[in-house]
Structure 1
Amino acid sequence: MKLRISSKNKYLATIELEDLSRGILPIKQISSLYPSDYEGEISESEANQIIKMLEDYAFNLLVKYLAKEEHSQYQCVLYLQRKGFCSEIVQDAIHRCLELNYLNDQRFAELLISSYIKRKASKRAITAKLSANHIPINVWKPLLEELYTEEEKASNLEELLKKYYSTHSNLPPEKLKERAFGYLFRKGFDPDDIRDAIENLS
Protein backbone atom coordinates (compact mmCIF):
# COMPACT_ATOMS: atom_id res chain seq x y z
CA MET A 1 0.00 0.00 0.00
CA LYS A 2 1.32 3.41 -0.98
CA LEU A 3 1.85 5.99 1.79
CA ARG A 4 2.61 9.66 1.29
CA ILE A 5 3.27 12.04 4.18
CA SER A 6 3.43 15.76 3.36
CA SER A 7 4.16 18.56 5.79
CA LYS A 8 1.09 20.81 6.06
CA ASN A 9 2.92 23.24 8.35
CA LYS A 10 5.61 22.92 11.00
CA TYR A 11 3.22 21.07 13.31
CA LEU A 12 0.97 18.94 11.09
CA ALA A 13 1.33 16.49 8.23
CA THR A 14 -1.20 15.36 5.63
CA ILE A 15 -1.53 11.60 5.31
CA GLU A 16 -2.37 9.94 1.98
CA LEU A 17 -2.97 6.23 1.46
CA GLU A 18 -3.30 4.91 -2.10
CA ASP A 19 -3.32 8.54 -3.33
CA LEU A 20 -6.36 9.38 -1.19
CA SER A 21 -6.04 12.01 1.52
CA ARG A 22 -7.14 10.47 4.83
CA GLY A 23 -6.48 13.31 7.26
CA ILE A 24 -3.82 15.00 9.35
CA LEU A 25 -1.51 13.98 12.16
CA PRO A 26 0.93 15.90 14.34
CA ILE A 27 4.41 15.69 12.82
CA LYS A 28 5.84 14.67 16.21
CA GLN A 29 3.49 11.69 16.30
CA ILE A 30 3.99 10.41 12.76
CA SER A 31 7.74 11.10 12.75
CA SER A 32 8.18 8.36 15.36
CA LEU A 33 7.33 5.93 12.54
CA TYR A 34 8.26 7.74 9.30
CA PRO A 35 10.07 10.90 8.18
CA SER A 36 7.88 14.02 8.14
CA ASP A 37 7.98 14.00 4.32
CA TYR A 38 7.79 10.43 3.09
CA GLU A 39 6.58 8.41 0.13
CA GLY A 40 6.79 4.66 -0.11
CA GLU A 41 5.13 1.27 0.15
CA ILE A 42 3.87 -0.04 3.49
CA SER A 43 2.13 -3.22 4.60
CA GLU A 44 -1.58 -3.52 5.32
CA SER A 45 -0.93 -3.80 9.06
CA GLU A 46 1.18 -0.62 8.95
CA ALA A 47 -1.63 1.14 7.06
CA ASN A 48 -4.15 -0.02 9.68
CA GLN A 49 -1.90 1.39 12.39
CA ILE A 50 -1.86 4.80 10.66
CA ILE A 51 -5.64 4.73 10.17
CA LYS A 52 -6.05 4.02 13.89
CA MET A 53 -3.81 7.01 14.67
CA LEU A 54 -5.92 9.20 12.38
CA GLU A 55 -9.15 7.98 14.00
CA ASP A 56 -7.85 8.69 17.49
CA TYR A 57 -6.53 12.12 16.54
CA ALA A 58 -9.82 13.12 14.86
CA PHE A 59 -11.74 11.87 17.91
CA ASN A 60 -9.54 13.84 20.31
CA LEU A 61 -9.93 17.00 18.22
CA LEU A 62 -13.69 16.56 18.20
CA VAL A 63 -13.84 16.00 21.97
CA LYS A 64 -11.94 19.27 22.53
CA TYR A 65 -14.28 21.05 20.10
CA LEU A 66 -17.32 19.79 21.98
CA ALA A 67 -15.79 20.58 25.37
CA LYS A 68 -15.81 24.30 24.52
CA GLU A 69 -19.55 24.39 23.77
CA GLU A 70 -22.43 22.26 22.50
CA HIS A 71 -22.46 21.64 18.75
CA SER A 72 -24.75 19.87 16.32
CA GLN A 73 -23.72 16.73 14.51
CA TYR A 74 -23.69 18.73 11.27
CA GLN A 75 -21.32 21.33 12.75
CA CYS A 76 -19.01 18.55 13.94
CA VAL A 77 -18.88 16.97 10.50
CA LEU A 78 -17.99 20.33 8.93
CA TYR A 79 -15.34 20.94 11.62
CA LEU A 80 -13.52 17.67 10.92
CA GLN A 81 -13.88 18.09 7.16
CA ARG A 82 -12.23 21.51 7.42
CA LYS A 83 -9.38 19.83 9.28
CA GLY A 84 -8.91 17.61 6.24
CA PHE A 85 -10.21 14.24 7.42
CA CYS A 86 -11.87 11.86 4.95
CA SER A 87 -15.52 10.84 5.43
CA GLU A 88 -14.68 7.45 7.00
CA ILE A 89 -12.50 9.05 9.68
CA VAL A 90 -15.10 11.76 10.27
CA GLN A 91 -17.92 9.24 10.71
CA ASP A 92 -15.83 7.15 13.10
CA ALA A 93 -15.22 10.18 15.35
CA ILE A 94 -18.90 11.20 15.17
CA HIS A 95 -20.03 7.69 16.06
CA ARG A 96 -17.70 7.50 19.06
CA CYS A 97 -18.89 10.86 20.39
CA LEU A 98 -22.54 9.85 19.91
CA GLU A 99 -21.98 6.63 21.83
CA LEU A 100 -20.39 8.56 24.72
CA ASN A 101 -23.19 11.18 24.61
CA TYR A 102 -20.63 13.93 24.03
CA LEU A 103 -22.70 14.78 20.97
CA ASN A 104 -26.48 14.98 21.10
CA ASP A 105 -28.64 16.84 18.58
CA GLN A 106 -31.63 16.94 20.91
CA ARG A 107 -29.57 18.58 23.65
CA PHE A 108 -28.12 21.03 21.11
CA ALA A 109 -31.60 21.87 19.79
CA GLU A 110 -32.94 22.54 23.28
CA LEU A 111 -30.06 24.87 24.08
CA LEU A 112 -30.39 26.68 20.75
CA ILE A 113 -34.14 27.16 21.15
CA SER A 114 -33.77 28.43 24.73
CA SER A 115 -30.99 30.79 23.70
CA TYR A 116 -33.00 32.34 20.85
CA ILE A 117 -36.14 32.62 22.96
CA LYS A 118 -34.11 34.71 25.40
CA ARG A 119 -33.06 36.89 22.45
CA LYS A 120 -36.76 37.44 21.64
CA ALA A 121 -36.45 35.65 18.30
CA SER A 122 -39.51 34.56 16.36
CA LYS A 123 -40.46 30.91 15.95
CA ARG A 124 -39.70 31.22 12.22
CA ALA A 125 -36.20 32.56 12.92
CA ILE A 126 -35.52 29.73 15.38
CA THR A 127 -36.78 27.15 12.88
CA ALA A 128 -34.40 28.56 10.27
CA LYS A 129 -31.45 28.20 12.66
CA LEU A 130 -32.40 24.60 13.46
CA SER A 131 -32.77 23.76 9.77
CA ALA A 132 -29.41 25.37 9.00
CA ASN A 133 -27.86 22.96 11.49
CA HIS A 134 -29.60 20.00 9.82
CA ILE A 135 -31.44 19.03 13.01
CA PRO A 136 -34.19 16.52 12.09
CA ILE A 137 -37.68 17.99 12.41
CA ASN A 138 -38.82 15.11 14.63
CA VAL A 139 -36.09 16.14 17.10
CA TRP A 140 -36.71 19.88 17.29
CA LYS A 141 -40.44 20.27 16.64
CA PRO A 142 -41.66 18.85 20.00
CA LEU A 143 -39.02 20.91 21.83
CA LEU A 144 -40.00 24.11 20.04
CA GLU A 145 -43.69 23.56 20.79
CA GLU A 146 -42.89 22.89 24.44
CA LEU A 147 -40.48 25.79 24.98
CA TYR A 148 -41.96 28.46 22.72
CA THR A 149 -45.46 28.84 24.14
CA GLU A 150 -48.14 31.29 23.00
CA GLU A 151 -47.51 33.25 26.20
CA GLU A 152 -43.79 33.41 25.41
CA LYS A 153 -44.49 34.63 21.88
CA ALA A 154 -46.92 37.30 23.07
CA SER A 155 -44.49 38.46 25.74
CA ASN A 156 -41.62 38.69 23.24
CA LEU A 157 -43.71 40.65 20.78
CA GLU A 158 -44.88 43.06 23.47
CA GLU A 159 -41.34 43.65 24.73
CA LEU A 160 -39.92 44.18 21.23
CA LEU A 161 -42.79 46.48 20.32
CA LYS A 162 -42.40 48.61 23.45
CA LYS A 163 -38.67 48.91 22.81
CA TYR A 164 -39.26 49.92 19.19
CA TYR A 165 -41.88 52.49 20.18
CA SER A 166 -39.59 54.03 22.80
CA THR A 167 -36.67 54.41 20.37
CA HIS A 168 -38.86 55.83 17.56
CA SER A 169 -41.22 57.99 19.61
CA ASN A 170 -40.59 60.99 17.32
CA LEU A 171 -42.62 59.37 14.52
CA PRO A 172 -46.34 60.11 13.99
CA PRO A 173 -48.54 57.36 15.52
CA GLU A 174 -49.64 55.76 12.23
CA LYS A 175 -46.14 55.86 10.77
CA LEU A 176 -44.80 54.37 13.99
CA LYS A 177 -47.23 51.45 13.77
CA GLU A 178 -46.34 50.90 10.09
CA ARG A 179 -42.62 50.91 10.78
CA ALA A 180 -43.01 48.68 13.85
CA PHE A 181 -45.02 46.18 11.78
CA GLY A 182 -42.26 46.02 9.15
CA TYR A 183 -39.58 45.63 11.82
CA LEU A 184 -41.31 42.68 13.50
CA PHE A 185 -42.28 41.08 10.18
CA ARG A 186 -38.63 41.09 9.09
CA LYS A 187 -37.80 39.31 12.34
CA GLY A 188 -40.09 36.49 11.24
CA PHE A 189 -43.19 37.09 13.34
CA ASP A 190 -46.60 36.24 11.90
CA PRO A 191 -48.52 39.27 10.53
CA ASP A 192 -51.68 38.46 12.53
CA ASP A 193 -49.68 38.15 15.74
CA ILE A 194 -48.00 41.49 15.04
CA ARG A 195 -51.37 43.20 14.45
CA ASP A 196 -52.70 41.76 17.71
CA ALA A 197 -49.64 42.97 19.60
CA ILE A 198 -49.94 46.48 18.13
CA GLU A 199 -53.65 46.61 18.91
CA ASN A 200 -53.15 45.38 22.48
CA LEU A 201 -50.40 47.92 23.12
CA SER A 202 -52.48 50.74 21.65
Structure 2
Amino acid sequence: MRAHTPRKSALDRLHELGGKPRIRTISTPQSDPSRVAITFDGVHDGARATRISIRARDLKQLSLVPGMVLDAETLEALKRAVRLDMAHRAALASLQRAPCSRRRLIERLSRRGAHDRAILETVCDELSAAGILNDEASARSAARAMVARRPAGKRLIEQKLRAKGIAPATAKAAAEEAVADRDPLTDATSLARKRLRTMSPDLERHVVVRRLSGVLARGGFDPDVCRRAIERAVGESIDDA
Protein backbone atom coordinates (compact mmCIF):
# COMPACT_ATOMS: atom_id res chain seq x y z
CA MET A 1 0.00 0.00 0.00
CA ARG A 2 1.39 3.39 -1.01
CA ALA A 3 2.24 5.62 1.95
CA HIS A 4 0.41 8.93 2.19
CA THR A 5 2.66 11.93 1.50
CA PRO A 6 1.62 15.10 3.37
CA ARG A 7 0.80 17.98 1.06
CA LYS A 8 3.50 20.64 1.08
CA SER A 9 2.58 24.21 1.86
CA ALA A 10 3.39 27.18 -0.35
CA LEU A 11 6.16 28.10 2.09
CA ASP A 12 7.68 24.62 1.82
CA ARG A 13 7.72 24.93 -1.97
CA LEU A 14 9.38 28.35 -1.79
CA HIS A 15 12.06 27.03 0.55
CA GLU A 16 12.82 24.25 -1.91
CA LEU A 17 13.53 26.66 -4.76
CA GLY A 18 16.79 27.93 -3.32
CA GLY A 19 19.17 30.30 -5.12
CA LYS A 20 17.53 33.08 -7.11
CA PRO A 21 14.27 31.71 -8.52
CA ARG A 22 12.86 33.12 -11.74
CA ILE A 23 9.14 33.81 -12.16
CA ARG A 24 7.67 32.00 -15.14
CA THR A 25 4.03 33.13 -15.06
CA ILE A 26 1.60 35.20 -13.00
CA SER A 27 -2.11 34.57 -13.46
CA THR A 28 -5.44 35.31 -11.76
CA PRO A 29 -7.67 32.31 -11.05
CA GLN A 30 -11.22 32.75 -12.32
CA SER A 31 -12.51 31.21 -9.08
CA ASP A 32 -10.93 33.92 -6.91
CA PRO A 33 -9.88 37.23 -8.52
CA SER A 34 -8.56 38.47 -5.17
CA ARG A 35 -5.61 36.09 -5.40
CA VAL A 36 -2.87 35.40 -7.97
CA ALA A 37 -0.96 32.25 -8.89
CA ILE A 38 2.79 32.47 -9.44
CA THR A 39 4.84 29.73 -11.09
CA PHE A 40 8.62 29.49 -11.12
CA ASP A 41 11.10 27.90 -13.49
CA GLY A 42 12.21 24.40 -12.58
CA VAL A 43 10.27 21.43 -11.33
CA HIS A 44 8.60 20.54 -8.08
CA ASP A 45 8.34 16.94 -6.88
CA GLY A 46 9.97 15.97 -10.18
CA ALA A 47 6.87 16.72 -12.21
CA ARG A 48 5.33 20.15 -11.89
CA ALA A 49 6.64 23.69 -11.98
CA THR A 50 6.64 25.24 -8.52
CA ARG A 51 3.40 27.15 -8.04
CA ILE A 52 2.27 29.33 -5.14
CA SER A 53 -0.62 31.70 -4.49
CA ILE A 54 -0.72 35.07 -2.75
CA ARG A 55 -3.22 37.91 -2.47
CA ALA A 56 -3.46 40.31 -5.41
CA ARG A 57 -2.96 43.28 -3.08
CA ASP A 58 0.41 41.88 -1.98
CA LEU A 59 1.50 41.28 -5.58
CA LYS A 60 1.11 45.01 -6.27
CA GLN A 61 3.28 45.89 -3.27
CA LEU A 62 6.00 43.44 -4.37
CA SER A 63 5.93 44.64 -8.02
CA LEU A 64 6.49 41.11 -9.32
CA VAL A 65 6.40 40.45 -13.07
CA PRO A 66 7.00 37.36 -15.26
CA GLY A 67 10.67 36.82 -16.05
CA MET A 68 11.81 38.52 -12.85
CA VAL A 69 14.65 36.86 -10.91
CA LEU A 70 14.12 37.22 -7.18
CA ASP A 71 16.97 38.38 -5.00
CA ALA A 72 17.16 37.36 -1.34
CA GLU A 73 15.29 40.45 -0.10
CA THR A 74 12.40 40.05 -2.55
CA LEU A 75 12.20 36.33 -1.83
CA GLU A 76 11.81 37.04 1.90
CA ALA A 77 9.11 39.61 1.13
CA LEU A 78 7.33 37.01 -1.00
CA LYS A 79 7.50 34.50 1.85
CA ARG A 80 5.85 37.07 4.10
CA ALA A 81 3.11 37.55 1.48
CA VAL A 82 2.55 33.79 1.48
CA ARG A 83 2.26 33.80 5.28
CA LEU A 84 -0.26 36.64 5.09
CA ASP A 85 -2.30 34.72 2.52
CA MET A 86 -2.29 31.53 4.61
CA ALA A 87 -3.27 33.42 7.77
CA HIS A 88 -5.95 35.43 5.96
CA ARG A 89 -7.62 32.30 4.58
CA ALA A 90 -7.38 30.56 7.95
CA ALA A 91 -8.94 33.57 9.71
CA LEU A 92 -11.86 33.75 7.28
CA ALA A 93 -12.51 30.02 7.61
CA SER A 94 -12.44 30.27 11.40
CA LEU A 95 -14.84 33.23 11.46
CA GLN A 96 -17.24 31.40 9.13
CA ARG A 97 -17.32 28.44 11.51
CA ALA A 98 -17.79 30.54 14.62
CA PRO A 99 -17.66 34.36 14.82
CA CYS A 100 -15.47 35.58 17.67
CA SER A 101 -13.45 38.48 19.01
CA ARG A 102 -10.07 39.56 17.70
CA ARG A 103 -8.29 38.18 20.76
CA ARG A 104 -10.05 34.83 20.56
CA LEU A 105 -9.34 34.56 16.81
CA ILE A 106 -5.63 35.13 17.36
CA GLU A 107 -5.65 32.57 20.17
CA ARG A 108 -7.35 30.01 17.92
CA LEU A 109 -4.93 30.44 15.04
CA SER A 110 -1.84 30.65 17.25
CA ARG A 111 -2.67 27.47 19.12
CA ARG A 112 -1.13 25.07 16.61
CA GLY A 113 1.85 27.31 15.93
CA ALA A 114 1.09 27.46 12.22
CA HIS A 115 0.89 31.26 12.09
CA ASP A 116 3.20 33.95 13.41
CA ARG A 117 1.63 36.34 15.95
CA ALA A 118 2.76 39.47 14.07
CA ILE A 119 1.26 38.12 10.83
CA LEU A 120 -2.03 37.41 12.61
CA GLU A 121 -2.10 40.92 14.07
CA THR A 122 -1.67 42.36 10.56
CA VAL A 123 -4.44 40.15 9.17
CA CYS A 124 -6.78 41.12 12.02
CA ASP A 125 -6.07 44.80 11.36
CA GLU A 126 -7.06 44.26 7.73
CA LEU A 127 -10.20 42.31 8.61
CA SER A 128 -11.20 44.99 11.13
CA ALA A 129 -10.69 47.75 8.54
CA ALA A 130 -12.88 45.79 6.12
CA GLY A 131 -15.61 45.38 8.75
CA ILE A 132 -15.29 41.59 8.74
CA LEU A 133 -13.84 41.42 12.23
CA ASN A 134 -15.83 43.74 14.51
CA ASP A 135 -15.62 43.23 18.26
CA GLU A 136 -18.34 45.79 18.99
CA ALA A 137 -20.87 44.18 16.64
CA SER A 138 -19.88 40.70 17.80
CA ALA A 139 -20.33 41.69 21.45
CA ARG A 140 -23.74 43.26 20.84
CA SER A 141 -24.94 40.19 18.92
CA ALA A 142 -23.69 37.79 21.60
CA ALA A 143 -25.24 39.86 24.40
CA ARG A 144 -28.65 39.93 22.69
CA ALA A 145 -28.47 36.18 22.15
CA MET A 146 -27.72 35.58 25.84
CA VAL A 147 -30.73 37.60 26.95
CA ALA A 148 -32.98 35.91 24.40
CA ARG A 149 -32.00 32.43 25.60
CA ARG A 150 -32.43 33.07 29.32
CA PRO A 151 -33.04 36.02 31.65
CA ALA A 152 -29.67 37.38 32.74
CA GLY A 153 -28.33 40.36 34.62
CA LYS A 154 -25.86 42.85 33.24
CA ARG A 155 -22.98 41.49 35.33
CA LEU A 156 -23.30 37.96 33.96
CA ILE A 157 -23.52 39.16 30.36
CA GLU A 158 -20.45 41.30 30.82
CA GLN A 159 -18.51 38.42 32.42
CA LYS A 160 -19.38 36.05 29.58
CA LEU A 161 -18.37 38.56 26.94
CA ARG A 162 -15.04 39.17 28.62
CA ALA A 163 -14.50 35.41 28.75
CA LYS A 164 -14.95 35.40 24.96
CA GLY A 165 -12.04 37.81 24.61
CA ILE A 166 -14.07 41.03 24.37
CA ALA A 167 -12.35 44.08 25.88
CA PRO A 168 -13.84 45.19 29.24
CA ALA A 169 -15.16 48.54 27.98
CA THR A 170 -16.74 46.93 24.92
CA ALA A 171 -18.26 44.13 27.01
CA LYS A 172 -19.74 46.62 29.47
CA ALA A 173 -21.29 48.73 26.71
CA ALA A 174 -22.79 45.68 24.99
CA ALA A 175 -24.20 44.32 28.26
CA GLU A 176 -25.80 47.65 29.10
CA GLU A 177 -27.35 47.90 25.65
CA ALA A 178 -28.70 44.32 25.83
CA VAL A 179 -30.64 45.00 29.04
CA ALA A 180 -31.50 48.66 28.37
CA ASP A 181 -35.20 47.98 27.55
CA ARG A 182 -35.62 45.09 29.96
CA ASP A 183 -36.82 45.18 33.57
CA PRO A 184 -34.25 43.31 35.71
CA LEU A 185 -36.84 42.62 38.42
CA THR A 186 -39.21 41.02 35.90
CA ASP A 187 -36.41 38.93 34.42
CA ALA A 188 -35.14 37.85 37.82
CA THR A 189 -38.64 36.96 39.00
CA SER A 190 -39.21 34.88 35.88
CA LEU A 191 -35.98 33.00 36.49
CA ALA A 192 -36.77 32.50 40.18
CA ARG A 193 -40.26 31.14 39.45
CA LYS A 194 -38.90 28.79 36.82
CA ARG A 195 -36.32 27.44 39.26
CA LEU A 196 -38.88 27.25 42.06
CA ARG A 197 -41.08 24.92 40.00
CA THR A 198 -38.26 22.37 39.95
CA MET A 199 -37.84 22.32 43.74
CA SER A 200 -39.44 19.83 46.08
CA PRO A 201 -42.44 21.28 47.98
CA ASP A 202 -41.02 19.67 51.13
CA LEU A 203 -37.96 21.93 51.23
CA GLU A 204 -37.74 24.28 54.20
CA ARG A 205 -38.26 27.95 53.42
CA HIS A 206 -34.70 29.02 54.22
CA VAL A 207 -33.33 26.33 51.88
CA VAL A 208 -35.57 27.55 49.05
CA VAL A 209 -34.47 31.14 49.62
CA ARG A 210 -30.80 30.17 49.74
CA ARG A 211 -31.01 28.19 46.51
CA LEU A 212 -32.94 30.89 44.67
CA SER A 213 -30.48 33.50 45.90
CA GLY A 214 -27.63 31.47 44.43
CA VAL A 215 -29.42 31.03 41.10
CA LEU A 216 -30.14 34.74 40.74
CA ALA A 217 -26.69 35.84 41.90
CA ARG A 218 -25.08 33.55 39.34
CA GLY A 219 -27.50 35.03 36.81
CA GLY A 220 -25.83 38.40 37.29
CA PHE A 221 -28.62 40.20 39.15
CA ASP A 222 -27.92 42.75 41.88
CA PRO A 223 -28.60 41.76 45.53
CA ASP A 224 -31.63 44.02 45.93
CA VAL A 225 -33.17 42.71 42.71
CA CYS A 226 -32.51 39.14 43.88
CA ARG A 227 -34.28 39.74 47.19
CA ARG A 228 -37.34 41.37 45.62
CA ALA A 229 -37.59 38.74 42.88
CA ILE A 230 -37.53 35.92 45.42
CA GLU A 231 -40.23 37.63 47.47
CA ARG A 232 -42.39 37.84 44.36
CA ALA A 233 -41.70 34.22 43.47
CA VAL A 234 -42.48 32.77 46.92
CA GLY A 235 -45.23 35.27 47.64
CA GLU A 236 -43.91 36.59 50.96
CA SER A 237 -41.13 38.59 52.60
CA ILE A 238 -37.81 36.82 53.04
CA ASP A 239 -36.25 39.26 55.51
CA ASP A 240 -36.38 36.65 58.25
CA ALA A 241 -35.45 33.64 56.11
TM over 0.5: yes
Q: 1:97 and 1:10 mapped to 2: Cα distance?
A: 30
The gaps in structure 1 that reach 5 residues or longer are 1-8, 12-26
Deviation readout 1:181-202 (Å, 9 max, x if unpaired): 1232233322211111012231
Deviation readout 1:99-126 (Å, 9 max, x if unpaired): 1111001111101211221232332121
Per the alignment, residue 76 of structure 2 pairs with: 47
Change (3 A) 1:105 1:82: same
Asked if the contact 1:169–1:176 (Cα under 8 Å) also holds between the matched residues in 2, the reply is no
Residue identity opposite 2:14 in structure 1: L
Displacement of 1:88: 1.8
Within the alignment, does 1:199 sit opposite 2:228 as a pair? no
Per the alignment, residue 69 of structure 1 pairs with: 98
Q: TM-score, normalised by structure 2?
A: 0.64
Q: TM-score, normalised by structure 1?
A: 0.76
Asked if the contact 1:58–1:89 (Cα under 8 Å) also holds between the matched residues in 2, the reply is yes
Asked if the contact 2:157–2:220 (Cα under 8 Å) also holds between the matched residues in 1, the reply is no
Q: 1:178 and 1:133 mapped to 2: Cα distance?
A: 30
User: Relative contact order (alpha carbons < 8 A, sep ≥ 6): 1 or 2 greater?
Assistant: 1
Within the alignment, does 1:110 sit opposite 2:140 as a pair? yes
Question: Which of 110, 117, 123 is residue 87 of structure 1 equivalent to?
Answer: 117
Asked if the contact 1:59–1:96 (Cα under 8 Å) also holds between the matched residues in 2, the reply is no
The gaps in structure 2 that reach 5 residues or longer are 21-70, 236-241
Residue identity opposite 1:149 in structure 2: A
Per the alignment, residue 173 of structure 1 pairs with: 205
Displacement of 1:150: 6.8
Higher relative strand content: 1
Per the alignment, residue 15 of structure 1 pairs with: none
3-state SS of 1:33 partner: helix
Change (3 A) 1:159 1:70: same
Asked if the contact 1:165–1:180 (Cα under 8 Å) also holds between the matched residues in 2, the reply is yes
Change (3 A) 1:87 1:153: same
Per the alignment, residue 18 of structure 1 pairs with: none
Matching of residues 1-202 of structure 1 within 5 Å = 10-11=6-7, 27-35=8-16, 43-84=72-113, 85-118=115-148, 119-149=150-180, 151-170=182-201, 171-201=203-233, 202=235
Displacement of 1:31: 4.7
Q: Using the aligned pairs only, state the percent identity.
A: 25
Higher relative helix content: 1
Displacement of 1:174: 3.6
Identify which range, 173-182 or 159-168, moves more after superposition.
173-182
Aligned residues: 177
Larger Rg: 2
Change (3 A) 1:188 1:144: closer
